[in-house]
Amino acid sequence: MPKFICLAILISLCLTNTAQAHRTKVFAWVDGTNLAGEVYFGGGERAKGAKVDLLVDKHLVASTDANEVGEFIFHNLEARDYQVSANAGQGHVATFAIAGSEFPEFVLSGSESTESTLRKPEIELADKNSDSCEVLYEAAMKKAIQPLRNQLDQYEANIRWHDVLGGMGYIFGLFGLWSLMRARRG
């Protein structure tokens, strides 16, 4: 009888798994001077109304709530290191770090008049155009890569069939070893 209880406990321990639906994740990206992102659970369901805090060195800078599709945005931020903390309630908290280097070095603005721009030397205009192209290129690349980063993060959060089959293989292997040892003793 004690062997049966030990076997039952061993099998139940091997069959347990973490609750993937309750793992909260937050993903954020830089969009110009804004910080945008989304909050979701491990299975891909969006965390509607989650409280999202923006922190600098663990000090609260700004706070907002995720909308109906789990998205949030912080406007007009300085280029510095931030931590995004999302709380979906009942202890479901996730964090994400954004490096200050992800912000553009400068933001293009329409504040300069065309007349003053035309009066500048040609060298300064050429430098500004190359800097403008570089900023636009970086912004376009970030916008193109962001969905791929998000998809990769969600892919890593899902349980895949090869994970399930691998777990079952371990269980059958341990059962086979236990059967072999029992047969040699008996």
Kindly report the CATH class assigned to 19-185: mainly beta
Residue 36 identity: A
- The model's pTM is 0.55
pLDDT of the residue at 157? 63
pLDDT of the residue at 17? 56
* Domain ranges, ordered by start, for the chain: 19-185
Specify whether the CB–CB gap between 84 and 53 falls below 8 A: yes
Consecutive 10-residue averages of pLDDT for the chain (186 residues)? 71 62 81 89 84 96 94 94 93 90 65 40 56 77 74 68 83 91 87
pLDDT of the residue at 29? 87
The residue with tokens 């969009």 is 31
pLDDT of the residue at 159? 64
pLDDT of the residue at 124? 52
pLDDT of the residue at 116? 39
Q: Contacts by 73-77 with C-beta closer than 8 Å and gap 24+? A: 73/31, 73/34, 73/35, 73/36, 73/37, 74/34, 74/35, 74/36, 75/33, 75/34, 76/33, 76/34, 77/33, 77/34, 77/35, 77/103
